[in-house]
A and B are shown apart, each in its own frame.
Chain A
């Protein structure tokens, strides 16, 4: 079990569907991350939110739309995906003291395994 909860664990969607991935943490962390991981590859950074504001977008296509409605929740909205977007999507969080350094470990969920048909 992890302290970062991701739902659903598995998702199959068609290329015309709209779906959302959800991530939740109650550790009081103020930085939240989305990573994408293909089989046998390292996680690739997609987005970072710091204090509910988007701080990093790693040139991710607009068919992926992140949202951080409050400090505990992070969503990833999916629309018009392609089969090559099939992957494990990982959420992570870390502490971020206001005005403090960025040095704190990431806590990961176990991911949502997405299949696009």
Chain B
């Protein structure tokens, strides 16, 4: 799996958009970009994924650069409940090996 790089921590004011970057410069053509988050004392929760195109669902938007070397997860109106560790993972569509990196610890400030 491609290695992903994320900032270790970020702050965002409540009500503002939280933009979480992820670098995956060695991603291959068959690898999707997945985002999960883990709130304290819970299992990771799936947020969104994409291959080439930008994606949006009820939780977030995913913006993938044209060269696919980086992406940004956008939480449009952050709330205190969005405080969590966010993981960006490159996942091959050819095997089961899903490896988590260190993630970004997002703090939402009141």
Contacts and interface: CB of A to CB of B under 8 A. Distances in A.
| A and B: interacting chains | yes
Interface of A: 2, 4, 31, 33, 35, 41-45, 48, 50, 55-56, 90, 92, 101-103, 105-111
A2 B44 CA distance: 11
| Interface footprint category on B | 20 to 34
Interface of B: 32, 34, 36, 41-46, 49, 85, 87, 91-103
Nearest to A55: B96
B27 to A, nearest CB: 14
A45 B102 CA distance: 13
Minimum-distance CB pairs A-B, first 9: A108-B43, A42-B100, A105-B46, A101-B93, A103-B93, A48-B96, A110-B43, A43-B100, A108-B44
B43 A111 contact: yes
Contacts of A45: 97-100
A92 B92 contact: no
A45 B45 CA distance: 16
A107 B46 contact: yes
B11 to A, nearest CB: 18
B47 to A, nearest CB: 9
A11 to B, nearest CB: 15
Given A105-B34, A106-B36, A92 B99 contact: no
A31 B45 contact: no
